[in-house]
Amino acid sequence: MRRRVVVTGLGMVTPLGTGVEKNWKAVCAGTSGIGPISKFDASKYACRIAGEIKDFRPEDFMDKKQARRFDVFIHYAVASAKMAMEDAGLKINSGNADRIGCITGSGLGGLATMEHYHKVLLDKGPNKISPFFIPGMTSYASMYSDEGRNRETSAPTPFWKESTIEERSSTLKCSSKTTLMAWLRAWSIAVMNA
């Protein structure tokens, strides 16, 4: 028997706007999402146009603390997923949580975060690298729910899943929160320099 997938909800973050309604109106009006690059100085580049997302506010879809920790491509993924769930009327609860999943694919995201922490490393040294550097620029971060807990089921289980800082410390055979943070910082730097 072939398994079938049904799309029950839509969510969009595009250069035409945030949300299905804005996108649909823009498409029907023949509006282009392409325009001059405004996110950085592109004057030295041959191409100075792009499809930038201009009306997006991550705080509309996650708390400010999460927004600071995650790269912008994760903001877009979380927002799109939340809009799709709302559009579908999907409510996750203990009765259906193990039957619901989300697949996130990213060829390469997190470049803005990588660039930022590379500058931090060069200017201020390795002790100023956030332990959220790697998780904040990977698609794992997009699997977090409003409570900040990882809800994924099919991917390998990361060591921080559904645990407290003390449990994580013991898992890594660390004696304190400080040791764990130092370990994560060293791991971030090692991955960045690889």
Quick: pLDDT tens for 137-153.
775 554 444 444 444 33
Q: How many domains does the chain have?
A: 1
Residue 28 lies in a domain: no
Distance CA 59, CA 128 (A): 25
Enclosing domain of residue 150: 57-193
Structure tokens at 17: 């706007």
**For 53, phi and psi rounded to 5 degrees?**
-95, 120
Instruction: Report percent pLDDT > 90 for the chain.
Output: 30
Tell me if 110 is assigned to some domain.
Answer: yes
Enumerate the H helices of 89-148 as residue ranges: 111-124
Residue 16 belongs to some domain of the structure: no
Domain assignment present for residue 156? The answer is: yes
Radius of gyration of the chain, Cα coordinates, nearest whole angstrom = 19
In a domain, 36, yes or no: no
pLDDT in tens, 40-93: 899 999 999 999 999 999 999 999 988 888 888 889 988 998 999 899 998 888
Does a structural domain hold residue 19? Answer: no
What is the average pLDDT score of the chain? Answer: 75
Among residues of the chain, what percentage have pLDDT more than 70?
A: 68
Does any domain span residue 111? yes
Q: How many residues does the chain have?
A: 194
